[in-house]
C-alpha cells in the first residue's frame, strides 16, 4: 500500500504538514509536488491513501491549485483533504477542497486544517511565526495514524467539515507584486527559478515581476538569499498590519474523521 502526497506549497508549510501526516500513515510514499511552474500532473490514482495539502488564499483553495489538479482523478480511492492557513481563518477552503476531490472521483475519508506561518509574515509584522512547529508536526503525525486506523477499518464515510457552500467570494489585490531592493539584489536569479507562475524575469539587467501572473504566494520573498524582495504596495501593507494586530492568538489544528 502507498500514500500519495499531492501538494502546492510555495512557502513549504503545506509540504511539511503533508509529509508529517504521511509519516503517521506509515506506507511508502509517492510525491506529486505541483508547486513548480509546469508541474501539472495527469494521473489516475486507484489505490492507497492520497493526502492533498494546499494553502488557503482569501478563505478559498487558490485558483492555481484547481487548474493544476484538473487532471488528477480517481476511481474511488481514499483521500485526505488538508488546508494550511495563516492563523486568520480557513473559511470555506476545506469544504471546497473536499468537494473538488469528490468531483475528481476520490472518497474523502478525513480532513484537517493546520496553521502555517502566514505568507505575509515578516520580522516586523510576524503572523503565526515558525508554524507549523513541533506541536503541529506531532498533531499531523497523530492525525496520520488516525487516518490509517479509519482506512484499515474499511470505513469510507466522508465526515462533516467546517465551512459553507456557496463558498466565500474570491478576493485579491489587483496589480500587486513583490518589489526588489536593488541595492540588496545580487541578480542571482533564484526568485526566477522558484516562482511557481513564471511571473519573474530579467529585463534590462533588473528583476521584473509581472503583476497579472503573480499570485503573491511570497516564495520569492521568503527564499531570496539576500532578503531583497519585499511587499511595498500600500493596500496590502494595510492588510498585513490588520493581520498582525488581529491574528496573534494562537489557533490550533482541527481534524475531521
Ligand X SMILES: Cc1cc2nc3c(=O)[nH]c(=O)nc-3n(C[C@H](O)[C@H](O)[C@H](O)COP(=O)(O)O)c2cc1C
Contact residues for ligand X (CB under 6 A)?
A: 9-14, 55-59, 84-89, 116-119, 216-218
Q: Which residue has cell 539576500?
A: 226
Return the residue nearest ligand X (CB atom).
116
Please, are residues 55 and 34 in contact by the beta-carbon 8 Å criterion?
A: no
Q: Give the shortest CB-2-to-ligand X separation in angstroms.
A: 23
Q: Give the shortest CB-116-to-ligand X separation in angstroms.
A: 2
Q: Which of 53, 148 has the CB closer to ligand X?
A: 53
Q: Which of 54, 106 has the CB closer to ligand X?
A: 54
Q: Give the shortest CB-156-to-ligand X separation in angstroms.
A: 28
Q: Give the shortest CB-88-to-ligand X separation in angstroms.
A: 3
Q: Which of 13, 77 has the CB closer to ligand X?
A: 13
Neighbour-count burial of 212, counting CB atoms closer than 10 A to its CB (0-12 exposed, 13-18 middle, 19+ buried)? exposed
Q: Which of 128, 228 has the CB closer to ligand X?
A: 128
Amino acid at each position: 500500500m502507498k500514500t500519495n502526497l499531492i501538494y502546492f506549497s510555495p512557502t513549504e508549510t503545506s509540504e511539511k504538514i503533508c509529509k508529517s501526516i504521511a509519516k503517521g500513515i506509515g506506507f511508502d510514499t509517492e510525491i506529486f509536488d505541483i508547486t513548480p511552474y509546469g508541474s501539472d500532473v495527469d494521473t489516475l490514482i486507484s489505490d492507497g491513501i492520497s493526502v492533498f495539502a494546499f494553502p488557503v488564499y482569501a478563505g478559498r483553495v487558490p485558483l492555481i491549485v484547481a487548474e493544476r489538479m484538473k487532471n488528477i482523478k480517481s476511481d474511488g480511492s481514499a483521500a485526505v483533504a488538508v488546508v494550511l492557513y495563516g492563523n486568520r481563518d480557513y473559511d470555506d477552503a476545506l469544504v471546497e477542497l473536499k468537494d473538488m476531490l469528490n468531483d475528481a472521483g476520490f472518497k474523502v475519508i478525513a480532513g484537517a486544517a493546520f496553521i502555517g506561518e502566514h505568507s505575509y509574515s515578516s520580522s516586523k509584522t510576524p503572523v503565526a511565526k515558525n508554524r507549523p512547529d513541533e506541536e503541529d508536526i506531532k498533531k499531523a503525525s497523530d492525525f496520520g495514524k488516525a487516518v490509517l486506523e479509519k482506512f484499515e477499518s474499511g470505513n469510507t464515510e466522508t465526515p462533516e467539515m467546517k465551512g459553507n457552500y456557496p463558498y466565500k467570494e474570491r478576493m485579491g489585490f489587483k496589480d500587486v507584486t513583490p518589489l526588489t531592493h536593488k541595492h540588496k539584489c545580487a541578480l542571482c536569479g533564484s526568485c526566477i527559478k522558484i516562482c511557481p507562475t513564471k511571473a519573474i524575469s530579467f529585463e534590462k539587467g533588473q528583476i521584473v515581476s509581472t503583476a497579472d501572473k503573480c499570485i503573491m504566494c511570497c516564495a520569492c520573498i521568503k527564499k531570496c538569499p539576500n532578503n531583497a524582495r519585499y511587499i511595498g504596495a500600500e493596500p496590502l501593507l494595510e492588510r498585513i498590519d490588520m493581520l498582525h494586530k488581529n491574528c496573534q492568538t494562537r489557533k490550533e489544528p482541527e481534524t475531521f474523521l
